Structure 1
């Protein structure tokens, strides 16, 4: 209830800010009015053409690139505003070399974009900062697994937060080296950005995701509200600037899909696809198989998603005679993602899949290259209600002091805290077909669910002998009810004083920069797991907890849908008929706390000799880690344990640029960067999974693990034309990565809750390597000579990045094998946008493409899972109704491009197939 009130209050607050901006803007307009005649539309008082919209945004990004010695690309707020990008991560994908990842957590839907990849390096390899300071984040995709990562959830931050988004691809010794691919820096809005003292931007949008209503719940509209107000005041020799922003987004969507493969399965029998030898038993892969791949796991999903984002931020800036500048930025960002997952699974037990030689087990009957029949199948129906709440608080204090004309001091300090809570209510009913130890078909319990499969399409289909059996709720008995809480907190303190001499962008000759940096990163993670299993499996069937059915097209039948409230009520009313499973081991062992402290010092020489500019620096860094958790010392007894580690690094960097001509600039860079291990690589010291089929997974921490190290070589050539309003840029990079991580795996007996299981142990350690080459081409054309001026103006931007990778990993036996992609690295990235303006009308059409992307490595090469190539088309239309009022229409994913992943030697075996809706928005924005 309080959450509802706070979100409703925020939307009211945005509306109040809009009203305030309207009143103040009108008052300002009246006060600023003069009797002088206004210039003609499209011209300034001096008679110059005023460039606005897409052309203005493109020129600003080009200017920023030209001023920078580092190799970087940018996108401005105006650029973001003309594309249907509501969050920072959606805006980042427009930048050369940046790709984004749709959520690939098998427990959740696929429509949400959270992470950004730079030059093929996953989000956890890169650094995300706001105004140069590191900030805390929760990787919600990993929250339920306990595999806590450094990947930043950019989806939490609204695009309206930024003045500019920079992607720095060659970091100097001054910056944190956690940037193997690069650094994403969000430059927040300043009250001193606008020409006039007062600035306000208010936007209200209504929309619809076409997928909404495609699952169980009905169709819902979406809404977006944002307001930004800034003003500055002359205090007589000094200036004060104030900025206040608020944002609220409320979106609804649904997703339906199928899953066959299980990425990263440690046993080929659980991968969803299996190969069989001539004796009917499973084999390791196609080389030993007597026929083609056989699907053994058919899973259908249906998701209802409701996502709310809200944020409030403010900035106070103070300047004195241009010698002292101070700013304090504060922001609070929150979200609630409420998802209900409906799951239906047809599979076989591990012993059935492997094959014993008995009838009805092992290879299917009547097997052909694309079809077969199973006489015995297990069917499960599940529901998971899983809301995630997260929030981030950011405080960033920046100070700049001119000690003299040449000597400058910067004192920056930042604090941020992120929290994440996932609640999961899991309910499952099953129609199990148990095979007796002898393996005889006659021992199978009723009902027997037999089905034939056809794998000629991307998603295998099923044909059941008795479809009515699946549709009857009485077929299914209660299996379990689970209540799980996952909690994570992340706190970061970032302090970095810097002293510079003759090192400003306009200073000539030799200069120096020196500084210190201290960062503390504290992470806490915990789970609380409760499970109830019926004492008599057949006592409670689904008849009393189901009132709906849903159709599964690939199965050719309908199945019941669990009513969550009814199922929970059955448990609460019959608690004595259920057994509470002892989860003490998991609850104690799976939590951990992690503290990382990093101290660094750098010295950097800067030279500005007109056409030639250079930087050479050296960074000395030392990192201390402490990991704490509870570990089982005897059955039922736990004791706190801790481990400590540290590592050192010397990190050099050399960057240079030379203006061959006024409009031709060459860049070169050599840098050393590192990628710190994820928090969960250090701890917990023994994360325990849930028992299944006599096995249990245990993940061991590795306090001695060291960071990845990367040596980077960059070269770029920038050609500016059309009076520096257009750009052609070529960038080549080569990266040598060493000490990459891999999971060492082995098996041993493990005691859990009084029983002994086969423990499948994994421990992350160093050992892999990679070599990555990439070529980026970026063209931004201010105006295409296609139309006469009287018919309007067409501009364009396009970029493409192609990567070649040799990724060497070690498998569980220590043997090496090579892949052509890093994890979450696509083969290529491409963007293209066309902008058309005619009078008060503007139109932008954008296309984004990503090639095949490695999602996860499996036990064998054929089990490596890839997200298949995906293309997305977006459209934005604007019409200036009045000088300060613009009507907007936005559409993203216009063609409804799906999410698909696959395994197999040639990615011919389906892993996932999910629909993603088209998002349509219409509204109005007002500026003053």
Structure 2
């Protein structure tokens, strides 16, 4: 009841303030007078990379922690279509891509499960369901939902103080939104960009892409004490993504052609499938933000913000999968060729749709109680909803023979009987599947802080005490029904072809309207099977309450800042679902609680007038994903030997990290440049892996093989160095003095022990999704009306843990993404002081993705192509 009242009060209050003040704001602005002192934050209205870099230097220089940042003007300077695009240029940050768009942010090699994300210091509800992540489970928001103009600057905090939320090991990302008080004058901007993803006709051809944005800010009132900032954005993109996969594992055979264990027999690895597919991916995003500020005096301020972000995705995938059956043998085998005796080829249309939206309201009030005392209080509510209906239609022909050739990097499969393989009438419908994933979450965040002599301009000893209470209520569900016994064929449903990855085999395109009509007619006579096990595993409710308090003591002089203290976080969690014992489903639930005591200390020393040294030691945590920690689903099979159960683990503890951080910055030429270096070392205990062990369960007389996420007793270590620099080359003669350069590099390593299913241990030297090296470099130009930037991003090889294989024989099949190099370009010209035209080119080199596996990553697992995208646009500023 209290939660409902709290949510309604926040929503009603924000709505009333927004509605009643918009009209008054614009009416009063024409009569307002300039304030006696202009605000010093007007740098948000800057243009060009040069101004952006200088703003980043100022933010970094003023920080009491090790942070890296990207500012509003830079976010707008490159064609960044979501917030993840903007973040990938931050030192030590990379992004996990999906269909060419960043999905999750990875900081210092730690993936999204080790990090947290905030908006103006408040939590955002999650959209993390069915996103292809082995570690998914509802704790994180996906970057696809967030527009790049969400924030005036994005800060990635890498060292912790007691006053920080402690739920991060890699980094704490905070989106700092714009305020009307950031602008000296009323402002209104509108921009539009449009263009195409350029692709070959054989892959689907060119497709439209574009975005439109508008934002405005004004101050009003007798003393201009009120401020209103509003923004809106719309984005759309269509691309085709052709891809080939060679199987999640390889096959090996004896000289006589019989199957063998990995790397056995002749030692020649044979693809377990040749899967061609082509995603026809269409995405749209619509976003609104509003912020109302009140600053009646220097020592008193408050703001109320609201947002709504809506993202839809439609991904139609046409597959052609030649899958080698387990009973297949091989003949005429050489090191690179042979003939497979039993292959099933399946043509399939998967229609995957997502509708994700996040809505929220939050606010904060700050007051100086006296010359020394200051307090602030804040509250937020964030709601997310995800609807993910999916339909799959499959047609298959069995017992085909295929010759394979692995002499090139991408294997080729050639049917022995080409006429039969191409005869669509020989592919009966084998499956029609209808399923729907859902997620609904409400997240609440209450904060209060009291400080004594603790502002940035205070000197001497000070202290801050604070409390935070967060509440998460989440429900996820899965409904799935499979239909078989269908009496139509691929010939009835197909309507054209797309080029397979190598264009050696055409992919039949299944026409949605045709197959829907066929299924509609056949549905009554088909056999419908509800997938009860999947539904039980994918339907559960989670609740989590975290009560935190901290005490931070500090000392500040003109040359030194030292802070330290203690943060205590108490977590209560619970979950409920259903679980089956020999086919009989019953409700199950579980609860857990734990307390973390987390000390930290940090120091900032001005080593000269233009340099600072920062160092810190801290303890932080990373709470487990809800998918891993919720007691959900699972089928207890007491008939198998041994009995088995796969389920969530409500007894999971959070990962606990001890962190050492150090960094040094040199500020060059009055803020026109910076050189920075940072290093870190982390010890992580209770890391989480999924494997099975024999356990004793109630009402089962023999031990049961229970497979679930578990805390490891081994310590993970991660360490690295980060370098960054930027400088405006103003010393060059005109017009070359408009050039500027920036670059950063990150080097990371880890000791990452992995417990396999037989309890043996293997060690990786990098974390999941952690490249050993990340490089960014940019050449920019800002001179009079001309602006431009050419940017390069390099990621070295990384382990993609979305499809882990933690069995001793299958460990070689863990996938490694190969190095990538992306180049983007932007050019713009100020036609007038208020009108700018632009040209953007994304992925100039048409960099795709390639994944390999094997003991030495000698085998291709998959590769896919991503198109170049070009856009032209215009921006108007009033």
- Residue number among 719, 722, 726 corresponding to 1:776 in the alignment: 722
| Partners of 1:655 and 1:521 in 2: CA distance | 31
CA contact (8 A) 2:788 2:826 kept: yes
TM-score (norm. length: structure 2) = 0.90
Q: In the alignment, is residue 228 of structure 1 matched against residue 215 of structure 2?
A: yes
What is the CA deviation profile of residues 534-571 of structure 1, one whole-angstrom value per residue up to 9, with x for unaligned ones?
A: 16xxx422221122233325472334322222222222
Match of 1:333?
Answer: 309
Q: How does 1:198-347 map to 2 (within 5 A)?
A: 198-211=186-199, 215=203, 219-236=206-223, 239-262=225-248, 271=249, 273-277=250-254, 280-286=257-263, 288-347=264-323
Instruction: Give the drift of 1:214.
Output: 5.5
| Partners of 2:291 and 2:47 in 1: CA distance | 26
Match of 1:572?
Answer: 520
Q: Secondary structure at the match of 1:723?
A: helix
Q: In the alignment, is residue 377 of structure 1 matched against residue 343 of structure 2?
A: yes
| Partners of 1:551 and 1:163 in 2: CA distance | 44
| Partners of 1:131 and 1:348 in 2: CA distance | 52
**In the superposition, relative to structure 1, how do residues 417 and 27 fare at CA in structure 2: closer, same or farther (>3 Å)?**
closer
* Structure 1 portions without partners, runs of 5+: 1-20, 34-49, 104-109, 263-270, 353-360, 434-448, 751-758
**In the superposition, relative to structure 1, how do residues 675 and 75 fare at CA in structure 2: closer, same or farther (>3 Å)?**
same
- Residue number among 838, 842, 846 corresponding to 2:791 in the alignment: 846
TM-score (norm. length: structure 1) = 0.86
What is the CA deviation profile of residues 236-264 of structure 1, one whole-angstrom value per residue up to 9, with x for unaligned ones?
A: 3x6000011110011111110101132xx
Match of 1:155?
Answer: 144
Q: Secondary structure at the match of 2:671?
A: coil
What is the CA deviation profile of residues 721-749 of structure 1, one whole-angstrom value per residue up to 9, with x for unaligned ones?
A: 1123211001011111111111113699x
Q: Secondary structure at the match of 1:65?
A: helix
Number of residue equivalences: 830
CA contact (8 A) 2:676 2:724 kept: yes
Q: Secondary structure at the match of 1:457?
A: coil
| Partners of 2:47 and 2:836 in 1: CA distance | 13
Q: How does 1:621-700 map to 2 (within 5 A)?
A: 621-633=569-581, 635=583, 637-687=584-634, 699-700=646-647
What is the CA deviation profile of residues 347-368 of structure 1, one whole-angstrom value per residue up to 9, with x for unaligned ones?
A: 1223x1xxxxxxxx34x21222
CA contact (8 A) 1:123 1:152 kept: no
Instruction: Give the drift of 1:688.
Output: 6.1
Instruction: Give the drift of 1:118.
Output: 0.4
| Partners of 2:27 and 2:780 in 1: CA distance | 31
Instruction: Give the drift of 1:182.
Output: 0.8
Instruction: Give the drift of 1:211.
Output: 3.5
- Residue number among 355, 375, 382 corresponding to 1:416 in the alignment: 382
Q: How does 1:23-42 map to 2 (within 5 A)?
A: none
Match of 2:876?
Answer: 926
Match of 1:884?
Answer: 834
CA contact (8 A) 2:219 2:228 kept: yes
- Residue number among 914, 923, 926 corresponding to 2:864 in the alignment: 914
* Structure 2 portions without partners, runs of 5+: 1-21, 35-44, 698-703
CA contact (8 A) 1:604 1:617 kept: yes
CA contact (8 A) 2:319 2:507 kept: no
Match of 2:115?
Answer: 126
Aligned Cα RMSD in Å?
A: 2.8
| Partners of 2:84 and 2:135 in 1: CA distance | 23
| Partners of 1:697 and 1:890 in 2: CA distance | 55
Q: In the alignment, is residue 716 of structure 1 matched against residue 702 of structure 2?
A: no
Q: How does 1:5-44 map to 2 (within 5 A)?
A: none
**In the superposition, relative to structure 1, how do residues 901 and 589 fare at CA in structure 2: closer, same or farther (>3 Å)?**
closer
What is the CA deviation profile of residues 323-350 of structure 1, one whole-angstrom value per residue up to 9, with x for unaligned ones?
A: 2111011000001101100011111223
| Partners of 2:262 and 2:478 in 1: CA distance | 37
CA contact (8 A) 1:851 1:869 kept: yes
CA contact (8 A) 1:487 1:525 kept: yes
Match of 1:826?
Answer: 771
Instruction: Give the drift of 1:663.
Output: 1.1
Q: Secondary structure at the match of 1:387?
A: strand
Match of 1:139?
Answer: 128
**In the superposition, relative to structure 1, how do residues 593 and 301 fare at CA in structure 2: closer, same or farther (>3 Å)?**
same
Match of 1:904?
Answer: 854
CA contact (8 A) 2:282 2:313 kept: yes
| Partners of 1:112 and 1:526 in 2: CA distance | 26
Instruction: Give the drift of 1:807.
Output: 0.5
**In the superposition, relative to structure 1, how do residues 335 and 326 fare at CA in structure 2: closer, same or farther (>3 Å)?**
same
Match of 1:873?
Answer: 823
**In the superposition, relative to structure 1, how do residues 28 and 839 fare at CA in structure 2: closer, same or farther (>3 Å)?**
farther
- Residue number among 762, 775, 794 corresponding to 2:707 in the alignment: 762
CA contact (8 A) 1:472 1:560 kept: no
CA contact (8 A) 2:29 2:218 kept: no
CA contact (8 A) 2:590 2:631 kept: no
**In the superposition, relative to structure 1, how do residues 468 and 127 fare at CA in structure 2: closer, same or farther (>3 Å)?**
same
CA contact (8 A) 1:143 1:488 kept: no
Instruction: Give the drift of 1:461.
Output: 1.0
CA contact (8 A) 1:778 1:799 kept: yes
